[in-house]
């Protein structure tokens, strides 16, 4: 290969990598994060604080929690409005 071919292959490779990264960043996937219960609403919903942001979420299992409990909350397809608590986390 001469220098023009090498440059063309390099440009194509960079373009493919850039496109792939853009696609991966936009693929929805479930995300689970750890947070703390800061408020209980009628025993059915909880306010969970995660990295400084509060989320209102129900529990997906037959468990109850107290203010201060560490919990895991899952966001289906990374949709923050559909989060639900999956269980208690160890401190």
Query: pLDDT tens across 2-25, in order?
Result: 788 889 899 999 999 988 887 777
Query: pLDDT tens across 22-52, in order?
Result: 777 778 889 999 999 999 998 889 999 999 9
CA distance 26 to 30: 13
Q: Which runs of E-coded beta strand occur in 28-69?
A: 31-41, 45-50, 53-58
In 10 A of CB 79, how many CB atoms? 11
Query: What's the whole-model pTM score?
Result: 0.71
Q: DSSP per residue over 71-82, as a string?
A: EEEEEGGG-GGG
- The second-level CATH assignment, the architecture, of 31-88 is Beta Barrel (2.40)
Domain boundaries, the chain: 31-88
């Amino acid at each position: 290969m001469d220098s023009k071919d090498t440059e063309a292959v390099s440009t194509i490779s960079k373009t493919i990598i850039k496109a792939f990264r853009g696609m991966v960043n936009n693929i929805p996937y479930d995300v689970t994060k750890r947070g703390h219960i800061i408020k209980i609403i009628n025993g059915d919903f909880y306010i969970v604080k995660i990295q400084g942001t509060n989320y209102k979420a129900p529990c997906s299992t037959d468990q109850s929690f107290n203010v201060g409990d560490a919990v895991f909350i899952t966001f289906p397809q990374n949709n923050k409005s559909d989060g639900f608590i999956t269980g208690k986390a160890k401190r």
